[in-house]
Chains A and B, each alone.
With several copies, the nearest count.
Chain A
Amino acid sequence: MKKLINDPRAVVDESVDGFGLAHADLVAVNAEPRFITRRDAPVSGKVGLLSGGGSGHEPLHAGFVGMGMLDAAVPGAVFTSPTPDQILPATQAVDSGAGVVHIVKNYTGDVLNFETAAELAEAEGIQVRTVLVNDDVAVEDSLYTAGRRGVGGTVLVEKIAGAAAERGDDLDSVAAIGERVNSNVRTMGVALSACTVPHAGSPSFDLEDNEIEIGIGIHGEPGRHKIPLENADTITDMLLEPVLSDLGIAAGDKVLLFVNGMGGTPLSELYIVYRRAARVTADRGATVERSLVGNYVTALEMQGCSISVLRLDDELTGLWDAPVHTAALRWGV
């Protein structure tokens, strides 16, 4: 295992510490328990927006803390959801009295820990709403699974719900916008290589030189199936088709197209994928109104990408365009 780290067990603490130093104008880092808040939290009268989950997906979530997006991020150990005793004080820190929305990716661990934290917060008089993100079409949402996972779409939920909170929407409205984004976004991913969890020390799965994993999540878990390596256009089609079909994208639809790197794939390759995805989407008669290309929801140094499509309406587009000022997404300010 080759990593730019000191102690595998100190990775998250040291990284968050460095993040706080680099972005001291934007965020404040609470070391014990570990969470990150907007420098100016709680923002008076504003609904608080909090997200969190295992570490290893950077810039998610800390990179999205700031004006127009999250008020707090709560990072767990690598690929391990945070605990209620991190989530609760972070919730308290960003509640201005208007309540707090938890954006939770749909994994058993995240759901259980946020559930407990929300109960404890409610017991202390803080109103909490939870938006569950489950955009991964690789997983069937059935009795035989833990349900669809929350993956790349999370960043879109955070941006748009964040803009709703920033414009002054109340607690239920912010949660409703978040849910609307979630129900209009689908994602599917591919891995060309595994990643190595620092404390584990060996790659999260084994792939031959000519194999790729289709339908991966963001925790280095193997995907739905291994297939032989294909070219970028073919892979793009394999990811995009289920996304467009599940969403029922049809002629006249307006969409945001998001090609997300898993951390170890060069930007140049993401644009090759974007090129094909934009063409296929246009061939369906849909209009790509907004785009996002880059490493936003990653799995350490995994090579691969995911493609997300979000069906837009005028309100969602407006909220997407609204000013945002975070370490990893910034415009309008």
Chain B
Amino acid sequence: MVLDANWAVKWLTLCAQAMAENRVWLIELDRAIGDSDHGENMDRGFQAVLDKLAEVPPETPGAALKLTAMTLISKVGGAAGPLYGTAFLRAAASLGDTVEVEPAAFAGALLAARDGIVARGKAEPGDKTMVDAWTPAAEAAVAAAADGAGSVLEVLVAAAEAAEAGAAATDPMVARKGRASYLGERSAGHRDPGAASSALILRAAVGAAA
């Protein structure tokens, strides 16, 4: 298995599928501590990504992620649009023109994505945002790749599992950024929708490589 343009397109296709399937769940999560639009936003955004991918098939993983970034920025809106847009843009820049992404480079792209989200949104780990999924995911990928022993699939799985654990860990948190922060203590006891969609995205990366 190599992380080439085909994998990237499959990844994004599985992302779109995951957002469509989990649209209602993400809306429900956002309904509890936000404004009920996250599932709709992500679904709309990734459907548009699918359309774009069909129009101009990308030649490298980086190109696929850049196209995703531009599409999410122009179609999603809300907080998630610019944050995911920046994440994919930074990941694309980090991959450059690479045709086949090595495990360490993938881990580096996740780190870049996470840094992009933090740079735009100024959230720290523990603030109950998507950062709580991306931070452990990027760190787990770096660790898995650094061992040297990590196969491509092992790195992807490490990232996905860490993102899922990170998303679950937002449940008890009191939000300090984003719309949920307006709720104060009432935000505890609910999963952060953006962390949940982040975990779906990283799980889709595994599916595309399987």
Known A-B contacts A108-B177, A200-B36; A77 and B183 likewise in contact (beta carbons under 8 Å): no
A interface majority secondary structure: loop
Q: Would B31 and A116 count as touching, CB distance under 8 A? A: no
A112 to B80 Cα, complex, angstroms:
10
Q: Would A80 and B78 count as touching, CB distance under 8 A? A: yes
**B81 in contact (CB, < 8 A):** yes
Interface string of B49-88 (1 = CB under 8 A from A): 0000000000000000000000001111111111100000
Known A-B contacts A85-B74, A108-B121, A112-B82; A222 and B183 likewise in contact (beta carbons under 8 Å): yes
B10 to chain A, nearest CB (A): 26
Within 8 A of A (CB), among B22-55: 27, 31, 33-37, 40-41, 44
Interface string of A79-100 (1 = CB under 8 A from B): 1111111000000000000000
A187 to B176 Cα, complex, angstroms:
21
A132 to chain B, nearest CB (A): 15
The residue that A113 contacts in the complex, of B40, B77, B174, B183, with Cβ under 8 A, is B77
B73, B179, B182, B183 — which one has the most chain A CB atoms within 10 A of its CB?
B182
Interface string of B158-184 (1 = CB under 8 A from A): 000000000000000010111101111
Q: For residue B176, which residues in chain A have a CB less than 8 angstroms away from its CB?
A: 143-145
The residue that B82 contacts in the complex, of A109, A138, A205, A219, with Cβ under 8 A, is A109
Q: For residue A200, which residues in chain B have a CB less than 8 angstroms away from its CB?
A: 27, 31, 36-37, 40
Q: For residue B83, which residues in chain A have a CB less than 8 angstroms away from its CB?
A: 112
B173 to chain A, nearest CB (A): 12
Q: For residue A202, which residues in chain B have a CB less than 8 angstroms away from its CB?
A: 31
Which B residues are within 8 Å of any A CB, using their own CB? 27, 31, 33-37, 40-41, 44, 73-83, 120-121, 174, 176-179, 181-184, 186
Between-chain CB contacts (< 8 Å), 13 pairs: A76-B77, A77-B44, A81-B77, A81-B78, A81-B81, A83-B75, A108-B179, A113-B81, A145-B184, A146-B179, A199-B37, A200-B40, A205-B31
